[in-house]
């Protein structure tokens, strides 16, 4: 597949502009399905597209989003989408101009980390029991959920891996995963 990958020949990483050991990264077929398009990335940027991210390094996307080439903007949008919990990444993703076809192309290849993780990085599953690690004021509930409160049989919020649901003091509430620890 990489043998027919179409990239620009700019001799620099299309995210961070590094010139070291560039390799093509397949973005996938363009919206017309006429070419398997890609971007040139350095060894630092390539693993961050799908794996662990260095947010400080990825601030280089502030330049990449202004590229004239849709594959670069599409891939930048996908990476920023994975960082949507960060305000700076949301701001950048709102600045990217993608026409409808390019936006559909970007969304079709979204890589989501759909695992819910507690404050210690442990994977949370539906039905798990957790403990609050911080006093949390419950909006609209009129009470504060105290640190150390056990929440039994949690539910996972499907479209947001940073949220779970559970019962505290008889009310079903949404809780940020960063404030719980798996029992």
pLDDT one-digit tens code per residue, 127-143: 899 999 999 999 888 89
Which of these ranges, 35-39, 53-57, 123-127, has the smallest mean pLDDT?
35-39
Superfamily the domain 116-182 falls into: SH3 Domains (2.30.30.40)
Residue 119 CA to residue 177 CA, distance in Å, equals: 6
- Provide the pLDDT for residue 10: 66
Q: Domain coordinates of the chain in residue numbers?
A: 2-108, 116-182
pLDDT tens string 148-167 = 999 999 988 877 888 999 99
pLDDT tens string 89-112 = 999 989 999 988 888 888 877 655
């Amino acid at each position: 597949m990489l043998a027919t990958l179409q990239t620009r020949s700019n001799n620099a990483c299309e995210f961070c502009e590094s010139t070291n050991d560039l390799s093509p990264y397949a973005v996938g077929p363009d919206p017309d399905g006429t070419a398997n398009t890609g971007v040139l990335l350095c060894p630092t940027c390539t693993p961050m597209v799908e794996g662990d991210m260095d947010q400080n390094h990825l601030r280089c996307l502030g330049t990449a989003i202004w590229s004239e080439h849709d594959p670069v903007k599409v891939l930048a949008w996908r990476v920023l989408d994975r960082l949507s919990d960060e305000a700076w990444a949301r701001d950048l993703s709102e600045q990217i101009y993608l026409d409808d076809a390019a936006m559909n192309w970007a969304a079709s290849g979204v890589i989501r980390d759909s695992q819910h993780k507690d404050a210690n990085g442990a994977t949370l599953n539906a039905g798990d029991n957790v403990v609050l690690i911080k006093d949390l004021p419950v909006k609209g509930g009129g009470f504060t959920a105290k640190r150390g409160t056990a929440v039994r049989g949690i539910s996972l919020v499907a479209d947001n891996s940073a949220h779970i649901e559970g019962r505290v003091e008889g009310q079903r509430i949404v809780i940020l995963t960063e404030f719980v620890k798996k029992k």
